[in-house]
Amino acid sequence: MNVPHPSAILRLLGFAVAAGLAMAGIQPVLAATTGSIEMRWAFGLTAPAVLTAGLVFGAARAFDRGDAAQPPWYSAWLLLPGAFLLAGAAAMCLFGALVEFTLIPWTMWVLLITGALLWTAAMVLVRSHSH
């Protein structure tokens, strides 16, 4: 059985979190093109979500050292809180594509900021403790 290196799995996880957020982030714009919601509302959700997805992906790439250093065994536990909060922000984009409820943007911003900060801090810790 050939199992990939932990560093390869960590790179895949960094890509998956950013890609999931970006895909959910464009849903409001797609809904606006069909006339379901206003375009202004859609861009208010899409722009921050896609920008944060780009920052998360950039942080994952910036802290990547390839297979030269393997992350510690507890890497997934460190990344879990940030990934969970970013998934919540993605859910707010999906809800925002369906209804224009005033609490959605505020909640999305809180989830994006805290999720991105926790994700980036965890990436710094994982990469600094890689051997």
Structural domain spans, the chain: 14-128
- The answer, as to whether pTM is greater than 0.85, is yes
| CB distance 14 to 76 below 8 Å | no
pLDDT digits (tens, 9 = 90+) for 23-66: 999 999 999 999 999 999 999 999 999 999 999 888 878 877 77
- Longest pairwise C-alpha distance within the chain: 52
Residue (of 48, 24, 29) closest to 106 by Cα position: 48
**What is the rounded distance in angstroms from the CA atom of residue 87 to the CA atom of residue 16?**
11
